[in-house]
């Protein structure tokens, strides 16, 4: 696979016991440096697609390649290493550890990379500055707004400089103003070279991004690229 593709799904199907097919013969290619929305209603298959791209699940049929690696050929240890090095995750509910300052919540993103604590904290401070929270390094989650907590979560996802950032409903738990701030931050990170995939049910958010992959009933029903996409088509 050419090195420009970070994600390549080739005729991927994910079926579960009971006859449920969450993904049905899906093919998708995401090039390095893209900003992509995967959009669809609840039950459309977009979360299963996230799990495939994030190597959190394996396909029943078809091939998943991340950074050129065929996921089916990797054992659990190798998959964990691929995630640690190449993929950053941002979730709707932040998943920050209560009572732990921002710097150490972010440093946890490097916990499995064999990096000493002092170096992890230095990298965490740099990541927090990158998302505009250099002044909140020692604040705990309960001392921050929802938007700030999501920015901490983004800093944690970015601290290891992954080639791919997966954001699962990143504005779902935020008010509109905080959500707009987070989306602007993701656009800035994309402009600096990060490949970003946003999973969302919000068509307005999807329409503001350069490429929208619409999913329904486990299939891609539309894949649209908007040349003039900042901030909306």
Q: Does domain 34-43+79-225 have CATH number 2.60.40.10?
A: no
How confident is the model over 82-97, as pLDDT tens digits?
998 899 999 888 999 9
Residues forming a β-bridge with 7: 30, 66
For residue 1, pLDDT beyond 50: no
Residues forming a β-bridge with 211: 36, 225
Average pLDDT over residues 134-149: 95
- 230 DSSP 8-state letter: S
Closest CA to 115 of 159, 162, 83: 159
pTM score, whole prediction? 0.89
Other CB atoms closer than 10 Å to residue 132's CB: what's the count?
Answer: 14
For residue 113, pLDDT beyond 80: no
> DSSP readout, 64-125?
EEETTEEGGG--HHHHHHHHHHHEEEE-TT--PPTTS-HHHHHHGGGGGGT--HHHHHHHHH
CA–CA separation, 8 vs 49, rounded Å? Answer: 11
Q: Considering the chain, what percentage of its residues have pLDDT values greater than 90?
A: 84
Q: In the chain, what are the domain boundaries?
A: 34-43+79-225
- Confidence bin at 3 (pLDDT 50/70/90): low
Average pLDDT over all residues of the chain? 92
């Amino acid at each position: 696979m050419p090195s420009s593709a970070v994600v390549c799904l080739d005729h991927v199907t994910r079926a579960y016991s009971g006859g449920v097919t969450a993904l049905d013969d899906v093919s998708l290619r995401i090039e390095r440096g893209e900003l992509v929305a995967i959009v669809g209603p609840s039950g459309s298959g977009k979360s299963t697609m996230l799990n495939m791209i994030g190597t959190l699940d394996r396909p029943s049929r078809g091939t998943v390649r991340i950074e050129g690696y065929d996921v089916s050929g990797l054992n659990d240890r190798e998959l964990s290493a691929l995630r640690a090095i190449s993929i950053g995750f941002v979730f709707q509910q932040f998943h920050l550890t209560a009572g732990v300052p921002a710097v150490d919540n972010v440093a946890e993103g490097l916990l499995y990379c064999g990096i000493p604590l002092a170096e992890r904290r230095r990298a965490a401070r740099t990541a927090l500055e990158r998302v505009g929270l250099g002044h909140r390094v020692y604040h705990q989650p309960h001392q921050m707004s929802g938007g700030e907590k999501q920015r901490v979560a983004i800093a944690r996802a970015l601290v290891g400089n992954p080639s791919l950032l997966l954001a699962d409903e990143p504005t779902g738990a935020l008010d509109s103003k905080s959500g707009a701030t987070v989306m602007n931050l993701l656009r800035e990170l994309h402009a600096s070279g990060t490949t970003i995939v946003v999973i969302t049910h919000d068509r307005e958010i999807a329409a503001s991004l350069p490429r929208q992959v619409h999913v329904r009933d486990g299939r891609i029903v539309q894949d649209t690229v908007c040349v003039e996409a900042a901030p909306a088509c």
